Amino acid sequence: MLASRSMRSVARRMGSARGLHASARQDMKVLVALYDDPETGYPPKYARDDIPHIEKYPDGQTTPTPQSELPFQPGELLGCVSGELGLRKFLEDRGHTLVVTSDKDGPDSQFEKELKDADIVISQPFWPAYMTAERIAKAKNLKACLTAGIGSDHVDLEAACKNNVTVTEVTFCNSISVAEHVCMHILTLVRNFVPAHKIVCEGGWNIADAVSRSYDVEGMSVGTIAAGRIGLAVLRRMAPFDCKLHYTDRHRLSPEVEKELNLTYHETVEDMVKVCDVVTINCPLHPETENMMNEEMLSKFKRGAYLINTARGKICDRDAIKRALESGQLAGYAGDVWFPQPPPRDHPWRTMPNHGMTPHISGTSLSAQHRYAAGVIETLECIFDNKPIRDEYLIAQNGSLAGVGAHSYSPGNATGGSDEAVKFKNK
C-alpha cells in the first residue's frame, strides 16, 4: 500500500530535508539517462527540414510553454546522449550541473554512481532509469524524478511518495505520436505488411505467401482498453476505416463522443475482448493493470484476434503472449513496449511468430522530442524558480499521488524485476 497516515507524516518530515523547494535556488546536480547515439554518428543527416508547429493538443491544453528561449531547433534528435535533451546551456547558464549517461542499469553503472548526490533525475520511458525503492533510498539529495515523455511506472511511486520526491511527466506530449503508431501496427498486422515487405527485400515475389494471412480492417471490431488521450485518438483515427469501435475504461466517455464515433462501451476488459477482432491497450501500467493480459484473459479472445500494446510491456504476461501466438489464439501481436527496457537479447518477443514489434519508439519521434524536451525545461523552470508545476504534469508531490497522477495511477509499485535490464549489456 502507498501511504498509511503514519507513513505520510514520516514522508512530510523527510520532506523538510529533501523537499523540492527547500533548496530550490541552490546549484543542483541533474542526472539524465538517455539512449545511445545513432551508430552512424551524431548529429544524423535529417530527412526533413522542419516539423509542423503545434500550439494546442486536441483537448485545448497548450503545448509546453517555457519562459526561456529553447536551446534547440524543432526536429533535432534530443533523446540520445549527444542530444542531451537540449538541456546543457539552459542548466549551465543557471549554475547547475548536468550529467548525461546511457549506462543506466546495474550497481556498476555510471547512473548508479552519479545518483548518490543527484538532486534531479530525468529519463525517458524509452530508456528508463528504473528508480526502485533501493535507488531512491541511496539518493539522499533526490528531490524530483522527471519523465521526459508519458508514463512514470519506471519510478517506484510508493517509494517516491514516502521520500517526498516529486514525480512529473509531460502529459499529452506524445499521445498523438503513439496513436499514429497504434494505427500503423493495426494495419501492418491485419494486412500482413511485415512478411510481404520481407519478401521483396529478399528478392522474392510469391504473392500467395504474402496474402495468405492478409485481411481488410474494414468491418472489423476494434476495441481499446482505456479511452484516455491515446485510446480516444486511436478510436478517432480508426473510425474512417469503417470499423466497429469498442472501448472499456474506468470512466465512460461523454454520450456525445460515444454517439459521434458510434462506440460500444463495455464494463469490463473481458466483455470487450470477447467480441473484438483487434484489441489495443492504452492504459497506464500500475498495480491494477500489471499482468492484465495473462493466459486466462487471452483465452477469452476470439481466435485469431490481433493484440497491440504500446502502453507498457508488463501489462502483458510475456510467455502467455508467446504461447498465444504459437497456438494461433492470437493471429498477431505488435507494439513497442517491452519489459525490461532494453530487453535481454534472448527476450522471446524478438523471435515469436507473427509479431510486429519495434523498439520503444512510438513516443520519441523527432516531432514528439521537441515537445517533451520543452516540457522538461518548463518543469525545471518551475522547480528552480519555486513556481507551481502544471497540474497536468504532476504525478506525485508532497508525499502522495498528485495532479494527473492521482487520477491515472493507483497506489503501489510496478518497478519490480527491472534489474533484469542489466542483462542487455551483459550478453
Is 284 flagged in the annotation as binding? yes
Is 408 flagged in the annotation as binding? yes
Residue with cell 533523446: 79
Which cell is 294 given? 495473462
Is 264 flagged in the annotation as binding? no
Q: Which of 366, 370, 367, 380 is nearest to 67 (CA)?
A: 380
Is 109 flagged in the annotation as binding? no
Rounded to the nearest angstrom, the gap between the alpha carbon of residue 169 and the centroid of all alpha carbons in its chain is: 10
Q: Which is nearer to ligand NDP, 306 or 339 (CB)?
A: 339
Q: Which is nearer to ligand NDP, 15 or 287 (CB)?
A: 287
Is 122 flagged in the annotation as binding? no
* CA distances, 5 to each of 94, 320, 401 (Å): 38, 39, 14
Cβ pair 154, 284 in contact under 8 A: no
Q: Name the CA radius of gyration of the chain, rounded.
A: 22
Is 101 flagged in the annotation as binding? no
Q: Are strands 263-265 and 166-168 parallel, antiparallel or unpaired?
A: unpaired
Q: Which of 166, 149, 114 is nearest to 135 (CA)?
A: 114
Which cell is 21 given? 523547494
Distance of closest approach, residue 209 Cβ to ligand NDP, in angstroms: 31
* CA distances, 223 to each of 99, 127, 183, 186 (Å): 43, 28, 12, 11
Q: Which is nearer to ligand NDP, 116 or 407 (CB)?
A: 407
Distance of closest approach, residue 255 Cβ to ligand NDP, in angstroms: 16
Distance of closest approach, residue 404 Cβ to ligand NDP, in angstroms: 7
Cβ pair 94, 88 in contact under 8 A: no
Q: Which is nearer to ligand NDP, 140 or 407 (CB)?
A: 407
Q: Which residue of the chain is nearest ligand NDP when measured via CB?
A: 228
**Binding residues for ligand NDP (CB under 6 A):** 149-151, 174-175, 178, 225-231, 248-251, 282-285, 288-289, 310-312, 336-337, 360, 362-363, 407-408
DSSP H or E segment with residue 112: helix 110-115
Distance of closest approach, residue 336 Cβ to ligand NDP, in angstroms: 5
Is 299 flagged in the annotation as binding? no
Distance of closest approach, residue 311 Cβ to ligand NDP, in angstroms: 4
Distance CA 377, CA 345 (A): 34
Distance CA 363, CA 310 (A): 9
The catalytic site residues sit at: 174, 312, 341, 360
Q: Which is nearer to ligand NDP, 280 or 397 (CB)?
A: 280
Which residues does the annotation place in the binding site for substrate?
150, 174
